[in-house]
Structure 1
Amino acid sequence: MKLTVHIGTTKTGSSSIQTFLAVNRATLGQAGILVPISLGKELHLRAPLASLPFGASSDLAGLFDMATPEAHAAFRRNTVAAYRNEIAQAPECREVVITSEHLHSRMPKRVDIERFKDLFCSEFSSVRVIVYIRPQLDQITSLYSTVLRGGYQNSLDDFVRSRMKPEFRPYFNIRHIIRRWSGVFGSENVFVRPYKAVSQKDGTLGDFCELLDLDISGSEWQVPDNANTSINQAGQNLLRLVNQEKSATARLRKQVVKWVEKNSAGRGEQPSPDLARAFQRGFNAGNEWVIKTYFPDHPEYLEPRWPA
């Protein structure tokens, strides 16, 4: 039995992959692919949380009963036991799929990736790690729509400046992400997929299904609409205003987010040109290594969309 681990990165179509895997879980099982529900219904959040030490990612850990070291240890034991039992109950499956962009965003230390490997990746005939990458400026511009959904109140330029601090560099540094995971699983088992190239073909979902040897053109497959799409500038302005309104309830914010997602899809606000170049410049050296190593004939894969 093989294992495929999809680690994101963020804003590269991860939500569309996860929604597809969730709604087609039974059909995938018939095709020999297990998407473990023991790790999460769509996003496999339990895997990174079980791999992290107690106290890490407290915002996500708060979704579960992990308030003490003992509760965290029990969460880890129970998660791993349920995962391994689910695999044991599906001996006919040829492949297991784990998908969570938090494996990239919340695990910047190699020791956490090693713990993830020990807990969830043992006893497979092979393990491959799939990572989709895009220019950092494109990523953070798209990420702005996501943080506004979560309540962020400030402008895009404020958001970009806040993410230029040293503690956020591992989140965006593609070379470091690749090297961290290659250091644990081997460079031959880390597959780097350029978001710009796959978007021009069948999209991230189509590319991921091709990697799984799946033809999803048949009527037995449910192909959902793209999830977590970018929001246009008018929608972003509305979300920012609602987030700044102290009297707005969580219910109202949720309703506004749903309305904006339905009615305001599109290209959102762009950062100021000087700030955009300053942000992207911090990753030039690493990106040159990525281009030289993985697609030397296509440097445009990591060329960002510069603002006017």
Structure 2
Amino acid sequence: MTRLYLHIGTPKSGSTTIQNFLLANEAALPFRSVKAFGGLTATKLRYSIDNARSRASYANSWRYAKLPQFKDITKGIWEAAQSEVSATPDDHRPFLISGEQFYWFFDKDSDAINGLHASLANLFDEITVLLYLRPQVGFVKSLYSQQVKGQTRSTVSYKDFVSDRDGLADLCDYSGRTDLWAEAFGDRNLRVIPVNPNNYPNGNLVVDFLTRVDAEDPGLLRLAQEHPRSNVSPTFFQLNLMRRGNQLGLGRKFLRRWLISGLTRKLGAEKFPDTYDRLIRDVSRDGNRKLNAGYLRDFPVKLPE
């Protein structure tokens, strides 16, 4: 019997910390990965669906080369995975995939999510989906930060980023997205965890992740406890400097080297304004209440209502 643990994010909820630990300690993990999918982080699975986001990402990744037919790549991924999993000796170790790209690329595309389940069910007998949910105020601010400092190189102000109430409500709709994954994979196969140190063993996210994928070897848990956090976020002042740099077309290396420095860290506002926190909580409340009464009912700290 083959089992798969599928960790799908969400973004800005510690996925990078988890994945860095997994990749740094891959040889010690009691899991198998599928090379045809791109290994533990399964980066190729974003191309297993045919929608606008997936195609745009695929085209961008082949920017300087001849673009193969998208459908041929998609078909090839699943055929290679079928051959690989079938040929892998059964040593009773489960398979593991950890990638936040699922949340973005599958989004609310129920056909794509159902299609992913159908394809994975042809390879694995049991599939458990893990989903970490960060309180939306922190999620929105962290996502905005990523869009300014990352490859998107956004020039949008934070005020404009949150001003569209309908768009903000959709962004914060954890409940609607969770329902789609539950409908496809079965609600009993979802493990949904609210992001908060008080919900983790010893307050450690990576330790929590390992216990939820039934990897409780003492040596591995000790490594997880010692694993450092992955990111130091720029201050709000630094983000605004970067946003101005994006508007001027300055290179990312320049922005990171000079604008995200120890000196600029001491200047201006450190934290995001709390002006829009209430709006974020308002658009999140109904969905959070539903999740708290269901998947999250046994956690000491739930999502804010």
TM-score by length of 1: 0.81
Q: What whole-Å deviation, never above 9, does each CA across 1:256-278 have from its counterpart, x for those lacking one?
A: 58x559x969x9532442x3212
Q: 1:143 aligned to 2:149?
A: no
Specify the alignment match of 1:178 in structure 2: 178
Specify the alignment match of 1:102 in structure 2: 101
SS in 2 for 1:11: coil
Specify the alignment match of 1:61 in structure 2: 58
Deviates more, 1:215-224 or 1:6-15: 215-224
Q: What whole-Å deviation, never above 9, does each CA across 1:36-91 have from its counterpart, x for those lacking one?
A: 343235632211321x2154344422244499997111111221123233323432
Deviation at 1:227, TM superposition (A): 2.5
Structure 2 unaligned segments of length 5 or more: list them: none
Specify the alignment match of 2:5 in structure 1: 4
State whether residues 11 and 142 of structure 1, in contact with CA within 8 Å, keep that contact through their aligned partners in structure 2.
Answer: yes
Q: Distance in 1 between matches of 2:289 and 2:78?
A: 38
Counterpart amino acid of residue 194 in structure 1: P
State whether residues 6 and 96 of structure 2, in contact with CA within 8 Å, keep that contact through their aligned partners in structure 1.
Answer: yes
Counterpart amino acid of residue 76 in structure 2: N
Specify the alignment match of 1:22 in structure 2: 23
> For the aligned residues, what is the CA RMSD?
3.3
Change (3 A) 1:112 1:25: same
Q: 1:116 aligned to 2:116?
A: yes
Q: 1:154 aligned to 2:156?
A: yes
Q: Distance in 2 between matches of 1:179 and 1:211?
A: 20
Specify the alignment match of 1:187 in structure 2: 187
Q: Percent identity?
A: 22
Matched pairs, number: 294
Specify the alignment match of 1:233 in structure 2: 236
Deviation at 1:3, TM superposition (A): 0.7
Where does 1:179-258 land on structure 2 (aligned, <5 Å)? 179-196=179-196, 197-198=198-199, 201-215=202-216, 218=219, 224-246=227-249, 248-253=250-255, 255=257
State whether residues 153 and 243 of structure 1, in contact with CA within 8 Å, keep that contact through their aligned partners in structure 2.
Answer: yes
Deviates more, 1:59-68 or 1:141-150: 59-68
Specify the alignment match of 1:130 in structure 2: 130
Q: Distance in 2 between matches of 1:56 and 1:299?
A: 36
Deviation at 1:186, TM superposition (A): 1.0
SS in 2 for 1:282: helix
Specify the alignment match of 1:85 in structure 2: 83
Change (3 A) 1:153 1:55: closer
Q: Distance in 2 between matches of 1:228 and 1:44?
A: 22
TM-score by length of 2: 0.82
Deviation at 1:211, TM superposition (A): 1.6
Deviation at 1:207, TM superposition (A): 0.9
Counterpart amino acid of residue 272 in structure 2: Q
State whether residues 7 and 104 of structure 1, in contact with CA within 8 Å, keep that contact through their aligned partners in structure 2.
Answer: yes
Structure 1 unaligned segments of length 5 or more: list them: none
Deviation at 1:195, TM superposition (A): 0.5
Q: Distance in 2 between matches of 1:180 and 1:68?
A: 35
